[in-house]
Structure 1
C-alpha cells in the first residue's frame, strides 16, 4: 500500500491545562499511532475543534476560561463526535455533570495508558457502528416480537408508536422528524430495539453498548438513558427498579 492509499491516522483533540499531563498523554497516544492536537484551556480547545476535523475529543473537567463541562456542551451544539472526559477527583458531581453535558464516557486521573487506550478504542468502534453490525445484534424477525414495516427503499424499519428505527441506515425519527443521536445513544437505542419489552441490566448494557466488561460505576448507563429519553420521549424507556431498563413495545 502506498502512502497515498494508507488510511489517515485517528486524530484526537486533547484539552488539558496541566502541561506535564498534556505532554505525557500526547506521547503515550502517539506511541499507539494516534495523531494528537492539544490545547491548554477550554477556549483554545473550542477554537481548534471548530477549525479542524477530529475523530475523538479528550477533555479535562477542570480547565481555565471555559471548563470541560461547558466545552462539551458547546461541542454537542454542532457535533456528535465521541467525547471522553477526564476527572482528577473522580468526584460524583464531575462525572454526572460531564455525562449530562453529552460526554460518552469518562476516566479518572491518573489514568493508566492501557485503560485510556481501551476506552478510546471502544468509543471509536461505537462511532463507526455499521449497519452490518447493527443487524447482527438483532434476533431473527420471528423472535423479535416487535412491529416492522418497509421503507420507501424496501429496508425494514422498526416501529414503536411514532418512533421509527432504521437499523440499516442507522437513522431514527420521531413523529416523522429525524432525531440526532450521539454514537453511544444510538447504540443504546439499537440494543433496546433488538430486545423490546425485555429488561436489560446495567452490566449487560455496559458490555454490549460500551463494549467492555466493567464492574465499576454504572452511572454512564443511567445518564445515557436520561439523554436518550429526552430525545425520544421520557416514557419510551422504562425503569424496572432493581433490575435495569426496557423499551416499551
Structure 2
C-alpha cells in the first residue's frame, strides 16, 4: 500500500482578517481578540480563525508551532491574547504558562448577587455525557479561580477574576458551579435565569439580545522574553459589554 497516497494534508489558508494589535516587537504580539473569533483551526473551523489571520499578516509565524499561538480564549470571549513571533519566544511563553507565571485577569458579568470576594477551587474534567463541555468532578485537573466584586446590581454582579490555572472553560464552569453562571452563557447556565420582570423594556431587550458569555480578558502580566522585565497590558471591554454595564447602572439608579 502506498502510504503517501493515503495521507491528506489540510492547506491552511492565509486570510486578511483585521487584528487589533495592542503591542508588538520582535518577540511577541499582544492583541485584543474580538468576540466571535475562533483562535485555532479545528473541526468545522478551517478558515476565519486567528491562525488564518496570523499567517497572512505575519508570514514568518507560519513556521512556528500553531503559528505562535501559546494560549487561547473561547470563541466568544474577548480580550488580550499573547502570540509568539520566534521559536525561542514560543517555548519561553509555553514554559511561563506551565509554571503559572502569566497573570491573567478577566471582567465578567454574572447572574445573581455575589456579596463578597472569594475563591473557587474545584477540579475540572471533561463532561462524561458531552465531550465538548467541561465539568466539576473527581479525577479532574486542579483549577483555581479568584474573584473580586466590582459592582453589585439588582440581579447581577460585575466581577474581576484572576485565574491561577488555565483549564478549558474554567471561569464559566466555576461560576456555574456556585450558581452564578456568566450572563449569556447558555452552555453552562444550568437553567438559571435572572428575574427580569421588574426591568424596563430597554434592559430586558439588552439582556435578551446579549448573545455571548459576558466575559473579557482585561489584563495580562508576565516577564518579557527579551528584556526580562515585568510588563503589564490592559484593555477595556468591547462595546457590547460596555453598553450592557451602562444599562445595568442606569436601571439600578432609578
TM-score (norm: length of structure 1): 0.30
Structure with the greater relative contact order (CA < 8 A, sep ≥ 6): 1 or 2? 2
TM-score (norm: length of structure 2): 0.30
Q: Which structure features the higher share of helix residues?
A: 1
> Quick check: which has more Rg, 1 or 2?
2
Q: Which structure features the higher share of strand residues?
A: 2
